[in-house]
Amino acid sequence: MSSREDILGRVRAKLGRNETNAVAARTGIDVILAAKAQGPRPHVAMEMSALAGRLIDKSLAYSSTVDQIATQAEAPAAIARYLAGLGLPTQAVIWPKLADLDWAGAGITVAAREAQDADLVGITGCFCAVAETGTLMLCGSPDSPAAISLLPETHIAIVPASRIVPGMEEAFALALNELGQLPRAVNFISGPSRTGDIEQTIVLGAHGPYRVHLILIDGE
Amino acid sequence: MESRSHRFKENAAAALANPVLQANMRTAKGKFVDKRAIAIKEIDDFEGTREAAKQLRNLVLENLDLWLEKFETNATARGAKVLWAKDGAEICRHVAEIGKRHGIKKAVKSKSMLSEEAGLNQALEATGIQPVETDLGEYILQINNNEPPSHIIAPVVHKSLDEVADLFEKVHQTPRKTEIPALTREAREVLREHFLTADMGISGGNFLVAETGSVALVTNEGNGRMVTTLPRVHVVITGIEKVIPTLEDLATLMRLLPRSATGQSISNYVSVLTGTKAPDELDGPEHLYYILVDNGRADVIGSEFQEMLRCIRCGACMNHCPVYQTIGGHAYGWVYPGPMGSVLTPLYTGLENAIDLPHAATLCNQCGVVCPVKIPLPDLLRKLREKQTDKNLRPWMERAVLKAWAFVAASPTLYALGAWFGVRYLKWLAGGKASIPVLSAAPEWTKGRDFPAPEGKTFRELYAERKAKP
Ligand code: SF4
């Protein structure tokens, strides 16, 4: 007997499974999956300005930094200012999706490809952002590879205010709605990577970025 | 991992006598407890959320076979391969076979308690695959001769900064660093190299989402993302009880898990991974395997201990346990310490192999109060104690005393006689004082406290006297 049959067989025996109750239970499962019931939710104010305000507050609480601009076209210049302010390099790996912005005009040299170890700055967009916890939701795809938000020491994310949702529930619903199914890699990111393993002392920049910077686009 | 739970008493005594461990445990205790207390206040209806989490975990356990089939169907449809393992040895066989099939030389691992249950690292080394633990805590343990973890969330909570500094200096052969950020940076650089050169990533799974056939991974360091993004093969090793129905349920549980575990509103990274990389995708694994593990879980289904399978491995029960806070995790002798371990270890490795664990608790119910999925841990510990007694597993002396007690207590005359002698003897022993400093029949008990001396008359005598008065 295969291990699958052995394990499932013992679970079935323990649960007193038979053909009749299996039919009823399967229907029950389909009902649960169709209902997609939510648990209790913490209160999150729903107006767009309140959502953006909460996203900013929570992001700061998670050691991210935030800049606000009016249109996406201003993003390269805002990023150039941020990089210059911290004395960071002006070479960056970016999502292929963002290749059309005028990076050269802002003095940033970009490579639109997968991330490599030597990349120090990674620039991404986001699929949406979750106001409740100040979290970015990134979906992997050919023009938005996952490692760009992970390998570089600095991660900069462009976040249109119109893409801020209250909670994780809405973020998932948006993904299923717009993409038809969950993409292979959904990553929720809240601030720079950290560890508290040594004496429960928090240190930023464990394996992933040391810094996460949000460029919030108010008008889009 | 071989269980040393049968030596609990010796292990605990050694832990109590270890001043470094005692100091480290004192530092850790406050941090976990205080942070959680603050974090749960952010949830308007924390109790309601706990109740919802309990219900949704119960829903799955009640029809676990069908939920597993549902998960398997949906995961397979997205290109994953689902394997099953009855025990630790079978986990190791599966991983070795996958390694052989894909010509794997090096596997980077993010934390998986199942891999500890199986002793996977040693098995991989034996087949010529180099395993590298990448969670900072787990890495520290691995380079310290594969020391076992002492906490499920904070594996090196028992170690001090100095101990880590010594270890890094010795193993990395670099100048000794004394600052935690510098040590973290050093580990980052060593491990980055491994991430980039490994061809297999091994992770645990916090949850398996039946609706989408996905695995949810929760980490702070980002190592979980590394091992599931960079290598061309990804293997998820997780228990069969980890299935949850929907993404909405994941959202509910994510309000509880990080707050209960580390006092964070959310962990830095929550990855929901589904299937293999598309041909035109630039990163992600080409092959994805799930190893769904029984190792004692199936037999708990339908039993009086089924509630234990709701556990989401947050560690809150141990953080709040006065016994764990004092002796640390190693004394428990197996993978899972604290109250949850005292229930799981006897269930998974055999009641007779962990005879002291159900007693390694004061039943104060701190664990039951903080558990995010409302597992009544003290009740389960009490049931395990009853089982031990039923199966005559307790030491003969304890059994004999209880038998004698039962005999006396069942007879009113004998009981009255015993009490009559008892109170008089103890009063005489106290010699006029209010308490007795040392009882020769229970020297261990009186080591830490005095025994209050009785007044010299039994309750029945006093009652009769009072009734006789007009
Ligand atoms: S038993 Fe409860 S408190 Fe303990 S680890 Fe499991 S879920 Fe957390």
pLDDT in tens, A2-54: 999 999 999 999 999 999 999 999 999 999 999 999 999 999 888 888 999 99
- Tokens representing B271? 């990855």
Which alpha helices (DSSP H) does chain A contain, by range?
3-15, 19-35, 48-61, 75-86, 168-179
| Closest-lying ligand 1 atom to the alpha carbon of residue B260 | 8
Q: How do the domains of chain B map onto residue ranges?
A: 1-42+315-394, 45-298, 396-468
pLDDT the model gives residue B439 = 84
pLDDT the model gives residue A144 = 96
- In this structure, chain B runs to a length of 470
Distance CA B94, CA B80 (A): 15
Tell me whether residues A184 and B28 touch, CB distance under 8 A.
no
Q: How do the domains of chain A map onto residue ranges?
A: 3-35, 48-217
pLDDT the model gives residue B117 = 87
For A48-217, which CATH superfamily applies? Answer: NagB/RpiA/CoA transferase-like (3.40.50.10420)
Answer yes or no: are the C-beta atoms of B233 and B98 closer than 8 Å.
yes
The arithmetic mean of pLDDT across residues A78-90, rounded, is 98
Contacts of A4 in chain B (CB under 8 A): 84
For residue B431, count other CB atoms closer than 10 A to its CB: 8
Q: pLDDT, tens digit, for every residue of B71-105?
A: 999 999 999 999 999 999 999 999 999 999 999 99
Q: pLDDT, tens digit, for every residue of A115-146?
A: 999 999 999 999 999 999 999 999 999 999 99
Q: What is the DSSP letter of B410?
A: T
Query: What letter represents residue B296's amino acid?
Result: G
In this prediction the pTM is: 0.92
Distance CA B24, CA A18 (A): 53
**Ligand 1 binding pocket mutation candidate from B348, B373, B374, B379 (most atoms within 8 A of CB):** B373
B63/A contact by beta carbon, under 8 A: yes
Burial track B75-93 (b if 16+ CB lie within 10 A, e otherwise):
beebbbebbbbbbbebbbb
Question: Residues of chain A with pLDDT > 90: what percent?
Answer: 94
Tell me whether residues B267 and A190 touch, CB distance under 8 A.
yes
Residue B159 to residues A72, A83, B140, B291, Cα–Cα distance (Å): 48, 38, 10, 32
Answer yes or no: are the C-beta atoms of A135 and A188 closer than 8 Å.
yes
* Matching residue, tokens 């099953």: B84
- Which residues, listed in sequence order, are joined to residue B106 by a DSSP beta bridge? B130
Distance CA B244, CA B309 (A): 12
Answer yes or no: are the C-beta atoms of B202 and B248 closer than 8 Å.
no
CA B301 from centre of chain: 19
Query: Collapsing DSSP states into helix, strand and coil, what is residue B201?
Result: strand
A28/B contact by beta carbon, under 8 A: yes
Tell me whether residues B221 and A3 touch, CB distance under 8 A.
no
| Closest-lying ligand 1 atom to the alpha carbon of residue B310 | 7
List, as ranges, residues 32-91 from A with C-beta within 8 Å of B: 32-33, 36-40, 42-43, 58, 61-62
Disruptive mutation site among B21, B269, B289 for chain A (greatest number of A CBs within 10 Å): B269
Distance CA B305, CA B303 (A): 5
Quick check: ipTM above 0.90? Answer: yes
Distance CA B253, CA B149 (A): 25
Distance CA A179, CA A164 (A): 17
| Closest-lying ligand 1 atom to the alpha carbon of residue B318 | 4
Distance CA A217, CA A25 (A): 48
Q: Which helix (H) or strand (E) holds B240?
A: none
For B45-298, which CATH superfamily applies? Answer: NagB/RpiA/CoA transferase-like (3.40.50.10420)
Question: Which residue among A172, A191, A195 sits closest to B136, beta carbon to beta carbon?
Answer: A195
Distance CA B241, CA B310 (A): 8
Distance CA A13, CA B302 (A): 9
For residue B226, count other CB atoms closer than 10 A to its CB: 28
Kindly give, in sequence order, each residue whose CB lies less than 8 Å from that of residue B173, ignoring residues fewer than 6 positions away. Answer: none
Tell me whether residues B136 and A185 touch, CB distance under 8 A.
no
The arithmetic mean of pLDDT across residues A155-163, rounded, is 97
Pick the closest to residue B123 from B152, B100, B150 (CA basis): B100
- Taking 50 as the pLDDT cut, the residues of chain B under it are none
